[in-house]
């Protein structure tokens, strides 16, 4: 393997990509295998996936165990995705890579749209779990009622439309 482009990351599909070829605004990679793969970097804010108020709720609800990353953020989200789909995500630590501008990058087998749905589904499950431990039956019932009406696909469609109107803060 040529090393001219620095370290290469092997993707779930078997292709490889040079870390230095990834740019910070990238959300999706058109791969040589013919598929598009989602690209997520550690400094992409979690508002890439949900509105700010939900990010704040998650920060309150979720106990993060990492001292380095006490606030709930994109690395936690991608950790959840990797736990659920270990075969579908490639991850690289780029801290030794010098001037690429990111410390961690995750590239998934699925495209950025599917990844968005996966992230939202996992967060909804996690919140259900958190609320079921809240010892408030009323909170649980209210949450379940809201979730019955919550449509992940519709949410993702709508959020992506709104976000793409004003993409600056999300890249």
Binding site for Zn ion (CB under 5 A): 13, 15, 31, 33, 35
Q: Which residue has 């970097």 as its token pair? A: 41
Q: Which is nearer to Zn ion, 29 or 131 (CB)?
A: 29
Smallest separation (angstroms) from Zn ion to the CB of 31? 3
Torsion-angle region of 155 (φ positive above 0: left; ψ -120 to 50: alpha; else: beta) = alpha
Inter-CA distances, 140 with 24, 57, 60, 93, 155, Å: 39, 16, 17, 39, 21
Q: How far is the CB of 41 from Zn ion (least distance, A)?
A: 18
User: Starting at the edge strand that comes first in sequence, how are the strands of the sheet with 28-30 ordered?
Assistant: 28-30, 36-41, 104-108, 89-93
Nearer to Zn ion, 40 or 120 (CB): 40
Nearest C-alpha neighbor of 162 from the set 84, 63, 52: 52
Nearer to Zn ion, 24 or 33 (CB): 33
Whole-number minimum distance, CB 13 to Zn ion, in Å? Answer: 3
Closer Cβ to Zn ion, 74 or 88, answer by number = 88
CB of 39 to Zn ion, least distance (A): 12
- Radius of gyration in angstroms for the set of CA atoms belonging to the chain, rounded to a whole number: 17
């Amino acid at each position: 393997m040529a090393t001219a482009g620095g370290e290469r990351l092997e993707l779930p599909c078997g292709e490889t990509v040079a870390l230095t070829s990834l740019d910070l605004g990238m959300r999706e990679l058109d791969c040589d295998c013919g598929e598009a793969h989602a690209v997520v970097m550690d400094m992409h804010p979690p508002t890439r996936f949900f509105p700010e108020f939900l990010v704040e709720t998650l920060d309150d609800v979720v106990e993060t165990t990492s001292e380095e990353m006490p606030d709930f953020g994109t690395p936690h989200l991608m950790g959840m995705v990797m736990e659920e789909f270990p075969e579908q995500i490639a991850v690289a630590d780029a801290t030794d890579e010098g001037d690429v501008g990111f410390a961690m990058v995750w590239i998934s087998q699925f495209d950025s749209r599917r990844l968005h749905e996966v992230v939202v589904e996992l967060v909804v499950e996690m919140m259900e779990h958190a609320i079921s431990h809240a010892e408030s039956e009323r909170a649980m019932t209210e949450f379940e009622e809201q979730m019955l009406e919550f449509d992940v696909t519709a949410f993702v469609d709508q959020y992506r439309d709104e976000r793409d109107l004003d993409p600056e803060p999300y890249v």
